[in-house]
Amino acid sequence: MDAQQLTRQIYWSPSGGLNELLHKTTYLWLAIAICVFAYGVWKHVKLWRAGKQEICFDRPLDRVILFFRNVVAQAKVLRSRRQRDPKPRSIYAAWMHGLIFYGFLALVFGTTIVALKEYSVADLYHGWFYAFVKVTCQVGGVALAIGLVMGIARRSDKSQNFTHSLGYILLYSFLFLLVVQGFLLQGFRLAFDPTALDAKWAFVGYLASFLFPKNMSPESANAIYTSIWYFHMVTTMAFIATIPYTRALHIVTATLNLYTQRLTPSVMLAKMDFENAEVEYFGARDIRDFSWKDLLSFDSCTECRRCTDICPANAVLKPLDPREVILKLKNSMTVEALFPKEGSEEKHFLYESGVITHDEIWACTNCGGCVNECPVGIDQLRTIMQLRRYQTLTLGEVPASAGKAIENIKQYSNPWGLPSADRFKWAEGLDVPIITGDTPEVEYLYYVGCAGSYDQGNQKVARSIVNILKYCGVDFAVMGKAEKCNGEPVKRLGDEYSFAEIANSNVEQLNKLKFKKIVTHCPHCFNTLKNDYQEYGGKYQVFHHSQLLTELFKSNKLTLPVEVNKSVTFHDPCFLGRHNGEFDAPRQILEAVAGLRLSEMEASRETSSCCGMGGGNMWYESEGGGKIVEQRLKHVAKTGAKTLVTGCSFCMINFKSAFQNLEETKDIEIMDLAEAVAMAMPQEAKNAAASRPN
């Protein structure tokens, strides 16, 4: 067979060709479908336009790269997902959506090639490329059908608590009907077209051809084929037309939402304008206080549960369900966004009307697990923080102990309200260089932070870091008693006004000092100095101590000859890992310590579980449910490790206060990675570091 002969007639029928008038009506149906589709999309665009302005189309190259990663490659969808303990990780949803997406894409590809020939744009529909298209569509059709059956089964599972199961089941069933129609048409053609040369390429259609009796009269065959073809065409156009009105809408919204996703870490909250005298309140009071991008995100939610399953607060039955927060806001948008604001405005207020509750917003730990898991790019964390800002700045409804921490920071420059004169006591006995405005430039400013200055456990970490830096000959200094809290708890508790005052004061102070880089052992300080201070004129190179220690080891400045015989597991701090992308440095420096045996928790790296202290939770106890830290300690116990290593001040305080509450962990040792590194240093180096000037 000549490969170039391999093709087929576009509008084939048993009688030689479809009635021309019949297939020309395709254009009419297509025009109607596009108009109905466009109108439906415009209705949603009008909803989004009710939100505030936000720039989300800048940096097109970065956006295209992310688009291909998250849309074309389905990077977030095609991975195993964390489920609620004790369920194991699952790849069911990944396989289901992968089969549907790529199967659908294969059929769209095939349809596009046919359309290019039909509209005389390019005739690629022959020869070996025709065979390739056929095989692609056969495999794609089967994959789509399998995925749709899996989808129907999943949405029928009542334990998943899907709100719109019926809508998705109908959508999957409709698509399944289209796939079956396509294979039936193909089978009919192969059964009644004696000139067909593509049977071995259209192998599913070939199997379908046995469904049709070969002794059917030409008239009957033509009538049946024409009916199936026309029904398939009309239902296809119906699918296109109804996309904006059904659960298929996420094909549009998720694609757009992923392209316009914010390119800054989700934990970075935009600076607020407090200079506008006309502003009556701050934060998100009603749905219009969110940006158009936020409203698009709410509209993109497919209620897949990934955010809820990974939420550490929800896992211990606290009142926060990230999925429900987004769905409630989505419902508020569709119901109320276009209502006039005259009359009784309070019915639009999300908190006062009971749409959003106080307890669910304050249960959030800002861990970012929900944002990392969401396959359609919804930013649940920023959404919750905007709601929290309203409760703090406008209503003043802050948990009592959290409010006390804010006042302590403003008055004493630390959340415990301890004397500023005691801030440098951690360094007694160490020859620690202090930087002032008159000091010559140093390579590193070591920002110790409040926990390192006042908490006994973290003071040991600070001393270990100083010893290591002096041992390695690093040119560094600290601010001593002049150091002040960077305001991270204030920002996380929603008091952006006070944070702005603190940030401006600290940036002014830091900019008077001469240093090249900042290093800190607290990821919360690290994130604030690196990200949040940028909007206040503080643009610094900031490093976590794990990054610096790893660099010192790789450059042979840090030698670790002493064997440390310990079985350890590492807890990823949320503000170092998920929010700032550093997972490798802590592990690399731990692996550099001879004798340490590192066992990973199942929930680690990007899918790590929070200890419960982020989002200001260090300074108050959220209502309801159990303790998040105990849930995380159970993960530690499963590894069998005898030592828990972390790289976060808050995590250490939390773990040390809770580990004896569980029988499984009451005998474990808890330390910072700097303490583990210090153990591997030679004894003479430790002694010299304690007394040798830098």
> Considering the domain boundaries, does residue 282 fall inside one?
no
Give the separation between CA 388 and CA 95, rounded to whole angstroms.
Answer: 37
Q: Are residues 604 and 475 in the same domain?
A: yes
Give the H/E segment covering residue 658.
Answer: helix 649-658
> Considering the domain boundaries, does residue 246 fall inside one?
yes
Q: Are residues 190 and 303 in the same domain?
A: no
pLDDT of residue 224: 92
Burial of 334 (0-12, 13-18, 19+ CB in 10 A): middle
Give the separation between CA 419 and CA 416, rounded to whole angstroms.
Answer: 9
Q: Are residues 344 and 413 in the same domain?
A: no
Give the separation between CA 199 and CA 375, rounded to whole angstroms.
Answer: 39
> Considering the domain boundaries, does residue 458 fall inside one?
yes
Q: Is 478 helix (H, G, I), strand (E, B) or coil?
A: strand
Asked whether the beta carbons of 383 and 355 are under 8 A apart, the reply is no
Q: Are residues 477 and 535 in the same domain?
A: yes
Give the separation between CA 630 and CA 316, rounded to whole angstroms.
Answer: 9
Give the separation between CA 199 and CA 186, rounded to whole angstroms.
Answer: 9
> Considering the domain boundaries, does residue 14 fall inside one?
no
Residue span of the structural domain in which 576 resides: 403-691
Measured over the CA atoms of residue 198, residue 202, residue 207 and residue 213, the dihedral's sign is: negative
B/e letters for 68-83, b = 16+ CB within 10 Å, e = fewer, are eebbeebebbbeebbb
> Considering the domain boundaries, does residue 271 fall inside one?
no
Domain final residue pick, 213, 243, 259: 259
Q: Are residues 457 and 590 in the same domain?
A: yes
Q: Are residues 487 and 512 in the same domain?
A: yes
pLDDT of residue 694: 41
Q: Which spans in 291-399 are helix H?
A: 292-300, 306-310, 312-315, 322-336, 358-362, 369-373, 380-389
Give the separation between CA 614 and CA 362, rounded to whole angstroms.
Answer: 11
β-bridge partners, 442: 515
Q: What is the mean pLDDT of each run of 10 residues along the chain (694 residues)?
A: 72 84 86 95 93 91 93 85 65 89 95 89 89 94 95 82 80 94 93 85 91 87 91 94 93 94 87 86 92 95 90 94 94 70 68 91 94 93 95 93 95 94 92 91 96 94 94 94 95 95 96 96 96 94 97 94 94 95 95 93 91 93 91 94 95 94 92 94 69 47
Which residues are CB-contacts of 170 (< 8 A; sequence separation ≥ 6)?
Answer: 246
Asked whether the beta carbons of 151 and 160 are under 8 A apart, the reply is no
Q: Are residues 536 and 410 in the same domain?
A: yes
Q: Are residues 363 and 408 in the same domain?
A: no
Q: Are residues 392 and 407 in the same domain?
A: no
Domain final residue pick, 397, 423, 440: 397
> Considering the domain boundaries, does residue 13 fall inside one?
no
Q: Are residues 238 and 297 in the same domain?
A: no
pLDDT of residue 249: 93
pLDDT of residue 598: 94
Which has the closest alpha carbon to 148: 247, 80, 30, 242? Answer: 247
Give the separation between CA 181 and CA 661, rounded to whole angstroms.
Answer: 61
Give the separation between CA 311 and CA 610, rounded to whole angstroms.
Answer: 9
Q: Is 244 helix (H, G, I), strand (E, B) or coil?
A: helix
Q: Are residues 431 and 560 in the same domain?
A: yes
Q: Are residues 56 and 113 in the same domain?
A: yes
**Residue found by looking up tokens 């970065």 in the block:** 62
Report the CATH number at residue 122. Answer: 1.20.950
Burial of 224 (0-12, 13-18, 19+ CB in 10 A): middle
> Considering the domain boundaries, does residue 598 fall inside one?
yes
> Considering the domain boundaries, does residue 265 fall inside one?
no
Report the CATH number at residue 327. Answer: 1.10.1060
How many domains would you assign to the chain? 3
Domain final residue pick, 244, 259, 274: 259
Asked whether the beta carbons of 379 and 371 are under 8 A apart, the reply is yes
